[in-house]
Each structure stands twice: as C-alpha cells, then as structure tokens.
Structure 1
Amino acid sequence: MPDLPFDTTDPRLAAAAWTRVAEPGDPVAGVLRARLGAGAALEWLGHVRRSGRSSPPVPPGGISPDDGVTARDWAKAVGRWLPRLDDLDIRRELGMLDAVGGRLLLPGDDEWPAALHDLAERAPAALWVRGNGRLDLPRPAAAVVGMRASTRYGETVAAQMAIELAERGVVVVSGGAYGIDAAAHRGALSADGLTWAVLAGGVDRLYPAGNTRLLEAIMDEGVVLAEPAPGSSPGRHRFLDRNRLIAALGRVCVVVEAGWRSGALNTARHAEDLLRPVAAVPGPVSSMASEGCHRLLRDHGAVCVTDAADVLELLAPSGEDLAPDRPVQPGLLDGLDPLGSRVLDALPARSAASLASLARAAGLSEREVRAGVGRLELSGHAQRSGSGWRRTPRPT
C-alpha cells in the first residue's frame, strides 16, 4: 500500500495500526479484520481512499446479512476511518511503547488472554501492555469496580475483598481510577497479590496522574494495559468502551459502589452480555453511592455479595475449590442431643435452679433432667451452684 509509510503485510504493524484507525470496540472494523485480516483490511481502506469514493464502499465478498452490518454501517465506518489514514505511521507509536518498556500483544500470541475472544467482533485488534506480569496466567480473575466518588464504606469493602481474593490466588482486575478501582488495586497489592489495570488512554500516559505511583506499583508484578495506541487521550467514550475489556477479563464482575448512572453499571452490562456473573455489594438504603448496586440487585438479577467468600463461590466452576470455609460463630446448642438442648434451654444464666424447677420449665421428668444436667456438666455447658444448677458463663 504505497500511501502508508510502513509495511502493511507485517501482521504486527497492521494490527497495531487498527488501534489508531478505529475506535475501541468498533464492530464493523472487527468484521472487516475477521474477513480479510488486519493488513488486507488496511489495503482495502487505502483502495477506497484512492478511488475517491465515487460509489458506496463495499468490502470484498460483499455485504453479508450474517455479519449484522448494513451498507449504511459500512459507509459510516469508512467515513470514520479514512481521516485517520492521514499521517498514519504506527512505527511512531511503537517507538513510544519501546520508550516506556512496553510490549504489543496480538490475538494468537502466547500471552493473549483467551477470555477476550468472547468479545467476538468487538475484540481488540491488539493490546498495548506494560508491566512485569503476564495476561495468560492460569488463575481466575475477578473484576472489582465502582464509582470514583466513593465512600469510606465502599473503599473499605473493596480493599478487604481484594485482599482476600488475592490471598486465594485470584487476579483483581479494575480500571485504575480513583475511588473503588484504586481501593481494589491497593487491597490486592497489600496482600502481595496480582492486579491488572485497564486504561482508557495510551499506556504511555498513566491516568489519572494522581494514581501514577499506584499504577507503577501494579506494574511491578502485574500489568497495565490499553487498547488505544500510545499517545491516545482517555476520552469519555473510551472509558465506556474500555469497560468491556474489564468485564471480559474477569470471570465475575463485582460492583462495590455505584450511583444511579455510574460507569460501573456499564461494566456490569458488558459482563451480563458476556454471560459473566454480576454481583453487587449492598449499602445503606440512604446512600446515593449504593443506588446503582441496589438497582442491579432489584432489576437485573445481580447476586448479593458481602465478602470475598461470596465472590469465590461465583468464581469456582464445578469441582474447583476456591472458596474458604466461612468462620461460623458456634451456637449455644451446637453438638447437643435433643435432651441436652432442652435442659440447657431451661437452665438460667445467672441464678441457680433446682431439678424440680428445671423439670417444670423443660417439661421433663426430674430423672430426665438429672441425666441431662449431668451430660451438660461434662460438656462444660452447665455447672452446680449451691443446691441447684445454672449455665456455665460463655467467654466474652
């Protein structure tokens, strides 16, 4: 293709170029690349430009109803893409990536996360990655997301949940933003766990700037990744398109806090579309920061989760043991037979009671009560007090 200064037959250059030509998640670009390959798709686009668009663009093979893309969709897409061919030289962006020690990943590379194939035509053409971790780990991952204007309650829940997930070997995926995202990342790091941050702009610009140190800490063992090429700004629409990657990378999506129209709800919708379990943390009914979570629970069938154990149950497929045994406060009657339970229920906690009084209270004979308190004394549940019996005080 003579009007582009790089070799479009090089699959890495061609795939990288599409991260500049098309916006993240562009399904028409995905259909075109799937049909022709990234290089041939660029060549066809260059042919359309050289032809002066004397007629509506028709891709090689024609317009197939199976693609779900109409002639109008093709025309609008080409109109979006053509201006970006001007001055396009993806080698410049690759140089920027090299300068920050990053790497480019393509579908089919060993490190490419298989979970992204679930995005079909909306899967990225390539990923720009920084960090010492890898994206092809055989570990489960959980997306933990929420609003930027979070509360102390939400940040505490997110951090503690991320700590416990990381301790069980789960990768915590989030968006690197302020609020719940940052709390989740920090929680995983504090447990020496792995966490991934998915950015809306280029990986050469760690955004938000206030989280630069956090993102650098993530890169020590984990990764920071993005779909837009280096130099791309994190526009609002790119945050929304970025959310589909967070949803796809996680085996489950957990929303900790979200307002009525929070971007975290957008991530939850992507997860739902991908058939990922969606979970939400309940909050105070008076808190605007939990309105979105309650909306998910009420209207969208989200699973109510209150701790990492709940999330681990959603993460574990059949036969996989991720969820720890929950600590359960022992009950007063645990381990007792029916007679012992009935006698213990009749025993006073403070003053002592005679066998006759206990028999009346329990509806048993004195002989049965005598046998019952004897067993309870041996098990440590009852003790003599003068001429009567009382419960053994429970340690506080």
Structure 2
Amino acid sequence: MSVEEDPGERLLDRVFLTRVIEPGDEIAGRWVREFGVEGVARRLREGEEALPGVSDKRWAGLLARAGRAEPGQDLAAARACGVRFICPGHTEWPGQLDDLGDARPLGLWVRGLPHLRMWALRSVAVVGARACTEYGAHMAATLAAGLAERGWVVVSGGAYGVDGAAHRGALGAGGATVAVLACGVDRPYPRGHTQLITRIAEQGLVVGELPPGEHPTPSRFVLRNRVIAALTRGTLVVEAAYRSGSLVTARAAQRLGRYTMGVPGPATSGLSAGVHELLRQDAVLVTDAAEVVELVGDMGELAPDRRGPVVPRDLLDAAALRVLAALPGRGAATADEIARGAQTTPDDAIARLYELRALGYVERHGDGWKLTRQSMISVRGGRHGC
C-alpha cells in the first residue's frame, strides 16, 4: 500500500536522501512511494534491514553514503551561496515533474530569484550537440532569442555548444532562461561556462538534483536530461549525432507525451544525422521560434503563412494568365492561335493581349503577338520549370 505524499514531511530527510540516492533511481523512488520519505531515511540511517529490490553489495554502498550524509550542513552550505531546496508539496514545485513517476526527483536545489513553477509553465527545452557547427550555434541562439521575445523560458543544460548558445540567445534578448545541471548548483560546470552560469543565476535560474559540492558523472548527465524533458512543454533538438545525449532528452520528452521538434541541417552532416532520424519518426520539423510556439503554445499562437515572394504575374487574373500561357516561348502567334490555346474567343484574347501589353508582358509584331524580352525568362520558367 502506498504512503501518501505529505507536504509537511521533514525537509532534512529529503535533503539526506539527495546525498545518499542517485538521481533517477526508480527503485528508491518506489521505496519513497511505498514507505514514505521518513521511513526510507530511517531505514538507511539504522541500516538493520535492507529495503527490497537491492543486492547486499548495493545496500552496503547506500549505508556507507548514509553514514557520511550531513543534511544540516548541506542546507547551511546552500543558504550561504543563495541556494534553496524545494520538493514535492512545496509551492514552487513544478507539478509536471510528477509525470516521471518513481524517477521523479527527490527535490531540486534552486539558485536564482524567479519562481521555478511559474517559469516552467511556459518553457521550451533547446538542446543539441556540444561540438556544434557554426550553423548549429547560430540556429540555437536565434531560436532561443525568438522564444524569449515571445515570453517563453528557454531551458537547457548549461553545456558547451548548442546549450550555451541557447542560454546566450535568451539572455541577449533580455529573456528568461534556466540551466539544469548534472552537479551541485554551487559549482558551475563546465568550468569554462562559469561566467555564463553565474549570469544565468543572476538573471534566471540554475537548478539541479544533487546537493552542494557534488560533481558530474556520465550517468548523471544522462539522467539530468529527463528533468529537462519533464520540466518543459516541448524539447527542440538543434544539432545531434546518432549517439547524442540530446536525443536522450527528446526520447524522454516523447515518452512523457511532450512535443519533440528538430531543426534540419545538411544531409551530409554527421551532426545533423540524429536530428534527421528523429524527424523521420515522430518529431516535428521547425525552422524558427514562431513555428515552435505554434506547436507548444496556446490556441491562436500561429506561425505566419510561408510562401515565396510575390511577383507581378501573381497579380494577374486567371483569364489573363491563360492568355499569357498560350503565347509561344519563341516567335510570335496570331490572336486566333492564342485564343485557341487559351480556350477563349478571339475578341477576349485580343482584349487580354492589350491588357498584357500595357503591363509590359507582350508586344505586337504586325499581325502577331510575342512575349517581351523582359517577361520571357519568368514566363518560360514558370511554364517549363527551366
């Protein structure tokens, strides 16, 4: 029988568990659901009887971690650097994280002033390759800036490449951005992004599941991606190779029923191969922020219709276009010949020809009519595709 989540559960027990249990551990999540946070914390502290579903070796490892955990010190260290801890039941907790089920975070460490739950309600993840191309960085920054200008929060992982470009694009547009880290939020990673992550903390939010001082590992990067996917309305992948971690985020978003989007790149680019595979499955192709918002936004937030430039021929009515199309590509034709080609009467054809002459499309040569040099290329191109 499940133990109901109690918003008043001791905060120190959850902080304790974030030090002992790795992010995304579904076995531990089931313990919390069945025995409650206090029950799990007590069993780990006492260490007498192992919780179900783990080997003796793993239980011993958890007990060793539990023996070193100091939740009071973690909270004090967090407060010292302006970090707060939120958990399920807290007013700032984003409810969409509950969609992760037993893989839901035990809590989140948050650095920055804005209200995470309110920001997450209108947010989009922009992720992609660390070793991105110039095109990828440009698209990430442009898309993020466009989303920020439309009032959307840009969420990413703070990494090099597409992540960093997305954060900078949102900040440069004076918008909101959230960095979800795979380490303690008090120690920016990668170190080369210390200035960027510090700026995000000043203007936006830096969040993570791990307590102060914790370092990133490959598995923590992968598991961090599920939080990015769950926190946002949709995930946009800008550039990704076949084995890119950003595809993990996109697939997590698909499992959660979130929107997944991809930006196309050159067919010859290995860094776009993963995105193209995603697009061949269930993702939606997007090229600008308006198309992203049309997908993830509210009813009526539509992208503008896409069409080529308006050319003078577009302004002609259907009858005039038929007469124009009936003229030969080379040489002249009589009004009778043009009328037959346009399936109209000679009088109507002559009237349309004089109209077209006034507009510069045709000219008269004796008893015949021919295309002007100026219009010949466009008319032939439209008719023959050459």
Deviations 1:33-74 (A, max 9, x none): 222332232112223x1x3x5xxx25xxxxxxxxxxxx4437
Match of 1:164? 146
Deviation of 1:382 after TM superposition, in Å, equals 4.8
Structure with a larger share of its residues in helix: 2
Structure 1 residue 181 corresponds to structure 2 residue 160 = no
- What residue identity is the alignment partner of 2:66? L
Deviation of 1:321 after TM superposition, in Å, equals 2.4
Match of 1:199? 181
Match of 1:33? 32
Pairing partner for 2:94 from 94, 113, 122:
113
SS at 2:23 equivalent: coil
Match of 1:231? 213
Deviations 1:239-282 (A, max 9, x none): 01100001111211111111121111211221122122222222
Match of 1:323? 302
Pairing partner for 1:282 from 264, 278, 288:
264
Match of 2:17? 18
Q: Is the 8 A contact 2:27 2:53 kept in 1?
A: no
> Aligned equivalents of 1:331 and 1:247: distance in 2?
41
TM-score where L is the length of structure 1: 0.81
Deviation of 1:329 after TM superposition, in Å, equals 2.8
Q: Judging changes above 3 Å, is the alpha-carbon distance between structure 1 residues 374 and 312 closer, same or farther for their aligned structure 2 residues?
A: farther
Deviation of 1:349 after TM superposition, in Å, equals 10
Q: Is the 8 A contact 2:356 2:362 kept in 1?
A: no
Match of 1:6? none
1:1-396 aligned at under 5 Å gives the runs 11-47=10-46, 49=47, 51=48, 53=49, 57-58=50-51, 71-73=52-54, 78-137=59-118, 139-298=121-280, 300-316=281-297, 320-332=299-311, 333-334=313-314, 336-346=316-326, 358-359=338-339, 362-373=342-353, 382=360
SS at 1:178 equivalent: coil
TM-score where L is the length of structure 2: 0.83
> Aligned equivalents of 1:277 and 1:145: distance in 2?
14
% identity of equivalent residues: 42
> Aligned equivalents of 1:377 and 1:246: distance in 2?
62
Deviation of 1:308 after TM superposition, in Å, equals 2.4
Aligned length: 363
Q: Judging changes above 3 Å, is the alpha-carbon distance between structure 1 residues 44 and 72 closer, same or farther for their aligned structure 2 residues?
A: closer
Unaligned runs of 5+ in 1: 1-8, 59-70
- What residue identity is the alignment partner of 2:319? L
What do you get for the CA RMSD once the two structures are aligned?
3.0
Unaligned runs of 5+ in 2: 1-7, 379-386
Q: Is the 8 A contact 1:168 1:322 kept in 2?
A: no
SS at 2:253 equivalent: helix
SS at 1:136 equivalent: helix
> Aligned equivalents of 2:325 and 2:14: distance in 1?
73
Deviates more, 1:133-142 or 1:217-226: 133-142
> Aligned equivalents of 1:30 and 1:201: distance in 2?
20
> Aligned equivalents of 1:111 and 1:324: distance in 2?
32
Q: Judging changes above 3 Å, is the alpha-carbon distance between structure 1 residues 41 and 286 closer, same or farther for their aligned structure 2 residues?
A: same
Match of 2:381? none
Deviations 1:130-160 (A, max 9, x none): 1122212264211111110111111111111
